[in-house]
Amino acid sequence: MTPTHMSPRLIVSDPDEAAKFYQDALGAEEEFRSPPKDEGPPTIVAHRIGDSSFRVSPAVSSWGWLSTGDLGGSAVLLEIEVADPDAVGERMIAHGAEVVVPIENRPYGKRSGRIRDPFGHLWIITGELR
């Protein structure tokens, strides 16, 4: 069987707060939200950025869903290619993210850097040289 689509799921301490960050800082569009149910599944928020999608879910240790805080850091780098990496990086920082590696022209022909979002996930922000 050949997969037709893959959507990463970002485990966070507060899915509502994370959804707002990704919408404000990255321009993510909310596709759907599953409301929490009494003793049922927690809130899960699906987003789309361009042709890509991802979900935001709360940490639920009994299910093995651990946040970056539970793990002591992020084990995954999420890479996003944008028209203006500097503007996206600045917008992320304005909404609470921090610079890990400054966005600048790289010898491999891209302008990129690394940002840690307020939930501990690491993003490579990349685009064309300027």
Domains of the chain, earliest start first: 9-127 (3.10.180.10)
Backbone angles phi, psi at 39, to 5 degrees: 55, 25
Mean pLDDT across 45-63: 94
pTM recorded for the entire structure: 0.90
Rounded average pLDDT over 83-108? 97
Query: In terms of Cα–Cα distance, which of 91, 107, 112, 89 is closest to 99?
Result: 89
Mean pLDDT of all residues in 49-61: 94
Question: How many whole angstroms separate alpha carbon 122 and alpha carbon 115?
Answer: 6
Beta-bridge partners for 60:
65
pLDDT given at position 36? 67
Q: What is the pLDDT of residue 6?
A: 86
Examine the pLDDT at 1 and tell me if it is beyond 90: no
d(CA 26, CA 4): 25
